Amino acid sequence: MKEATLKQIAETLGISITTVSKALKNYPDVSDKTRKAVHELADSLQYKPNSFAVNLRMQESRTIGVIIPELVHHFFSSVIDGIVAEAEKHGYLVIIQQSNESVVMEKSQVELLLNKRVDGIVMSLSNESNDDEHLKELLRRNVPFVQFDKISKLLNSSKVIIDDQKAACEATTHLIHKGCKKIAHIRGPVNPQNAIDRFLGYKKGLEKHDIPFDPSLVYTCSRVSFEEGKAFAAQILKEHPDVDGIFCITDLVAVGVLAYFNEQKIPVPQQVKVIGFSNWFMSQVITPSLSTVEQPSYEMGTAAFNVLLEEINARKENRVREPKTVRLETQIIERESTRG
Amino acid sequence: MKEATLKQIAETLGISITTVSKALKNYPDVSDKTRKAVHELADSLQYKPNSFAVNLRMQESRTIGVIIPELVHHFFSSVIDGIVAEAEKHGYLVIIQQSNESVVMEKSQVELLLNKRVDGIVMSLSNESNDDEHLKELLRRNVPFVQFDKISKLLNSSKVIIDDQKAACEATTHLIHKGCKKIAHIRGPVNPQNAIDRFLGYKKGLEKHDIPFDPSLVYTCSRVSFEEGKAFAAQILKEHPDVDGIFCITDLVAVGVLAYFNEQKIPVPQQVKVIGFSNWFMSQVITPSLSTVEQPSYEMGTAAFNVLLEEINARKENRVREPKTVRLETQIIERESTRG
């Protein structure tokens, strides 16, 4: 698209480019008459200052990058919602990238964002992220960087998280208080910190109530999907027909468990009680409605943006700043799947 | 963050900036020795060409803007998923903006994206978009622009759409074939073209089967929400207790209808059959599962990006190009809510 330039305005009015530039910035050494003529012509030509040139001068892009595992996931779209809304308030644009749980994608996306000179990066790690050289590189280069939800504890960056261990312990305790004595856990993959912490919280919940931990009651998802929920429900019934409670890594998996139990006419909560994690919208509309752990996703997004902004501003002012960890509160939501 | 510059490399090696620049681009008039020294130093300093400067020269940002009404909406997050994946393949970055159904927001977002000199814009209009001056402006300025889903027919831009009228006629016909004789329609707001078209499709479906159109059977959402679905279900039962079929503007509203009927023990599909639109994930996991119209959301995203890329390339090559409309196929998905 053709754009009006300073040069074009200068030539049309027969004045210098410097004078046009000064007139547009309302410098006092330009006559009122010239200033008015320049502004009028600029308006009629729909002149816009070239933002690349402006950015080049300012060395900031007022754009941030966000990398998440997947967007079609109620939790992440709600976090993004919070990031975009908060960024908008502060005049920042948001570039979204999806790693699709692949560390190779994640690396090339970090690279691309750095080449774009974004002012900072907010990120939830892919499940494969045992290789974190690209993230250490961000820290070495002093790029403003905030991790959220799926984080690496080994990276000394700012973080916005929940206390997964505590929340999982509470979910397990909730099942125990509802009378469950043999509780299975459908856990997330081996790598992600939040899957590890929820598993540890489950174990701790059992221990606190003197229920012996039985490793054969733990089932490990690889894709954390609805289909895996259905498949593990079938396997649990077969291997441990006397299980009376199931704590699932996330609502999507729990909904798969409920779907299988509905098909098999296994009464929930009478025979088995089920609790999920994250409070997806659908959990309140399915039958039976699903008990879960409310995770403040939108707030996680606004907090992540604000911590990133603090990081950006500290660097602008050449302040040294220790990484900050924001821990948001969770709570148990009781619905039909654990009632009674 | 401090970045290595051409100047720094030149000073360290005692050569000119021009020589450094030429060496990095492997120009033949630089000696092998110098070229090697420059590359090695650039690597060790982790030098990256400044992308603002590069963009300024190329006059392209390889970034596109996407404006949607809301992200926490299964349909839109799936479209974005398609856009981001396709853009990634072609080396483009995607800036996401949410209008929250406000035309004021939409205008300032378009402005912001233009100031950022994005290479093009993909957009689904807000429900308020009776004021479209900012969009006409895009066309006047010849900005690559593609509308999808919620479009304005009055804007002569490229579009990626489904045939809402045909799909709604098929949904209504599906209810009629299942034996429904008195069919209510919970429609979308007055403005959006897709709400108008789905309403017209409903009318057409009735006409084709000689069922007289009764305007009192049409209920108009303002927010298109789960809560409105519940409220209208109650109102329909009160005003028209003999209604035996309901066609809803979208699955979210239909899920609200089903939730109310579940609460009131109104048997679905025996007493009333319900069909939605869009095929949200939750529609297959609720009880009863929801019949709906499958709308290819991910494909809509990839198609929207590809049409935008054609628009961008045509302008690069100074080709005149007529706006293009891509129409994607839909299909009825029968589940429990209309079965039998």
Assigned token pair, B88: 């990634």
C-alpha to C-alpha distances, A126 to A227, A278, B165, B295, nearest whole angstrom? 20, 18, 41, 29
| Residue B18: partners with Cβ closer than 8 Å, 6 or more residues away | none
- B266 vs chain A: nearest CA distance in angstroms? 15
Average pLDDT over residues B55-73: 77
Contacts of B312 in chain A (CB under 8 A): none
Number of domains in chain A: 3
Q: Does B71 share its domain with B218? A: no
Assigned token pair, A78: 């709600």
pLDDT at B53 over 80: no
Chain A residue closest in CA terms to B55: A52
C-alpha to C-alpha distances, A179 to A33, A206, B182, nearest whole angstrom? 84, 13, 48
User: Does residue A54 lie in a domain region?
Assistant: no
- A259 vs chain B: nearest CA distance in angstroms? 7
Chain B residue closest in CA terms to A58: B52
Q: Does A180 share its domain with A267? A: yes
- A242 vs chain B: nearest CA distance in angstroms? 25
pLDDT at B72: 73
Model confidence at B38, in pLDDT bands (50, 70, 90)?
confident
Give tens-digit pLDDT for A296-314. 999 999 999 999 999 999 9
Contact A56 B61 (CB under 8 A): no
The H helix count followed by the E strand count for chain A is 12, 12
Q: What is the dihedral of CA B297, B299, B305, B311, to 10 degrees?
A: -110
- A17 vs chain B: nearest CA distance in angstroms? 18
Residue pair A146/A160 in contact (Cβ under 8 Å)? The answer is yes
Quote the mean pLDDT of chain B. 90
pLDDT at A143: 93
Using alpha carbons only, give the angle A100, A105, A110 rounded to the nearest 5 degrees: 115
Best residue of B5, B46, B50, B55 to probe chain A, by most A CBs closer than 10 Å? B55
Average pLDDT over residues B192-204: 96
Contacts of B84 in chain A (CB under 8 A): 71, 96-98
Average pLDDT over residues B198-206: 98
Give tens-digit pLDDT for B300-332. 999 999 999 999 999 988 888 899 999 999 999
Please indicate if any CB of chain A lies within 8 Å of the CB of B266: no
Q: Does B309 share its domain with B290? A: no
Residue A291's SS3 state is strand
Please indicate if any CB of chain A lies within 8 Å of the CB of B102: no
pLDDT at A267: 97
- Could you give the CA distance from residue A128 to residue A334 in angstroms, rounded to a whole number? 33
Q: From the list B52, B98, B115, which residue is nearest A48 (CB)?
A: B115
Best residue of B6, B52, B118, B337 to probe chain A, by most A CBs closer than 10 Å? B52
Domain of residue B271 covers 164-295+332-338
pLDDT at B14: 85
Average pLDDT over residues B248-275: 96
- Could you give the CA distance from residue B43 to residue B210 in angstroms, rounded to a whole number? 76
- Could you give the CA distance from residue B107 to residue B222 in angstroms, rounded to a whole number? 21
Model confidence at B189, in pLDDT bands (50, 70, 90)?
very high
Q: Does A210 share its domain with A180? A: yes
Assigned token pair, A86: 């908060």
pLDDT at B69 over 50: yes
pLDDT at B266 over 80: yes
User: Does residue A55 lie in a domain region?
Assistant: no
Q: What would you measure as the largest C-alpha separation in chain A, in angstroms? A: 90
Q: Does B259 share its domain with B303? A: no
Best residue of A68, A72, A298 to probe chain B, by most B CBs closer than 10 Å? A72
Q: Does B183 share its domain with B280? A: yes
pLDDT at A157 over 50: yes
- Could you give the CA distance from residue A290 to residue A269 in angstroms, rounded to a whole number? 10
Using alpha carbons only, give the angle A192, A194, A198 rounded to the nearest 5 degrees: 125
C-alpha to C-alpha distances, A280 to A77, A165, A203, B144, B281, nearest whole angstrom? 11, 20, 24, 36, 12
Between strands B292-294 and B331-333, the pairing is antiparallel
Q: Does A34 share its domain with A69? A: no
Contact A117 B46 (CB under 8 A): no
Q: Does B171 share its domain with B290? A: yes
Average pLDDT over residues A91-120: 88
Q: Can you give the C-alpha Rg of chain A in angstroms?
A: 27
Contact A51 B98 (CB under 8 A): no
Quote the mean pLDDT of chain A. 90
Task: Give B199 or B108, the one with higher predicted confidence.
Answer: B199
pLDDT at B4: 65
pLDDT at A103 over 60: yes
Average pLDDT over residues A208-223: 97
Q: From the list A72, A94, A98, which residue is nearest B95 (CB)?
A: A94
Strands (E), chain B: 63-68, 93-98, 120-123, 145-148, 158-162, 183-187, 218-220, 245-248, 273-275, 292-294, 325-328, 331-333
Q: What percent of chain B has pLDDT over 70?
A: 95
- Residue B25 sits in a domain whose CATH number is 1.10.260.40
**First-last CA distance in chain A:** 66
- Range among A75-79, B21-25, B212-216 rated most confident: B212-216
| Residue A126: partners with Cβ closer than 8 Å, 6 or more residues away | A69, A99, A100, A101, A102, A103, A105, A106, A150
- Range among B60-64, B71-75, B324-328 rated most confident: B324-328
Model confidence at B240, in pLDDT bands (50, 70, 90)?
very high
Q: Does B172 share its domain with B232? A: yes
Contacts of A2 in chain B (CB under 8 A): 142
Q: Does A99 share its domain with A143? A: yes
- Could you give the CA distance from residue A57 to residue B320 in angstroms, rounded to a whole number? 35
